[in-house]
Amino acid sequence: MILLLAVVLGLTAGLCRARIGKRKYRYEELKAPLLVLVAFIPQYLIFFLPSTRALIPNRLASILYIGSLIPLIVFAFLNIRINSFWPISAGFLMNALAIVLNGGWMPISPNMVQKLHPHSAEGAWRIGERLGYSKDIVLQPEATRLWFLSDRFSLPEWLNYQVAFSLGDIFIFTGVVLLLWSLGGKQQISYKGEKQ
Amino acid sequence: MKTLSGKLAHFSGKLAHNARLILFIITLLLFILAAGAPCATGSVGI
């Protein structure tokens, strides 16, 4: 949800920028967009669709999740030449690294889980196990590989919306806002005469 | 006739631009949903 906010923010700002500058809002020609769909479908079944996510065992889910990262890595590298796409790719690669090195799930500390779910029932989550149907696994920071890439950030409490996110997510958020903002600006011509 | 075909070309060009823009936004949306890993309250079923 927090990453969807980046799309809304970036798109609104970019459209306003284009309108003020009396320009057409542009788009980028993404290479191999079908790879994203190939990656998203298994993730949709594992994490988002209630009727299927309850049926898929955690072991199979982690294998499918890691498998879905492969087309995304290819897509990220194919499109890294696009302006402002590199922070998105870098953020994704940070997340992917943390996930692969921690058994196929994004690590989150028990303290952060407690903060997110202060009223969860006893035994609703355990250290070393997947957190509900999320992409996360509950791990102590000292047992986490590349702890600094885990879901260790949260929003201020006064916002009344609790979410844990990683450094990679911050890169993705920033990259999406910058990319969608830049598409409302003037088209840049590189020194080779290529439009960017 | 020339004006009509010009208008048609303009309209179809605009339609194609908007369709490609929507496709671009959808691809970006799916990518960030698949690439991001935030964990929010109430979305994980515990």
Q: Write the pLDDT tens digit of every residue in A77-132.
A: 999 888 778 999 999 999 999 999 999 999 999 999 999 888 888 888 999 999 99
Would you say residue A192 lies in a domain? no
In a domain, A24, yes or no: yes
Q: Does residue A37 form part of some domain?
A: yes
Query: What ipTM does this complex have?
Result: 0.90
Q: Which position has the higher pLDDT, A159 or A78?
A: A78
Residue A136 lies in a domain: yes
The pLDDT value recorded for residue A145 is 96
Best mutation target among A134, A137, A166 (most B Cβ atoms within 10 Å) is A134
Asked if the model's pLDDT at residue A157 lies above 90, the reply is: no
The 3-state DSSP class for residue A32 equals: coil
Q: What is the pLDDT of residues A57-70, one digit of tens each?
A: 999 999 999 999 99
Among chain B residues, the shortest Cα distance to A118 is held by B41
Secondary structure of residue A186 in the 3-state scheme: coil
The verdict on residue A97 lying in a domain is: yes
Q: In which band, very low, low, confident or very high, does the pLDDT at A160 lie, cut at 50, 70 and 90?
A: confident
Residue A191 forms part of a structural domain: no
Give the domain range for residue A156. 2-182
Give kind and range of the element (H or E) at residue A35. helix A34-43
Helix (H, G, I), strand (E, B) or coil at A43: helix
- Within 10 angstroms of residue B5's Cβ, the number of other Cβ atoms is 9
Residues 84-143 on A with a CB inside 8 Å of B are 88, 91-92, 95-96, 98-99, 106, 108, 116-117, 120-121, 124-125, 131-136
**Helix axes of A85-101 and B2-35: crossing angle, nearest 10 degrees:** 30
Element (H, E) at A82: none
Task: Write down the mean pLDDT value for chain A.
Answer: 92
Q: Is residue A195 part of a domain?
A: no
In a domain, A190, yes or no: no
* A106 SS3 class: strand
Domain count, chain A: 1
Question: CA of A119: which chain B residue's CA is closest?
Answer: B46
Instruction: Quote the pTM value.
Output: 0.90
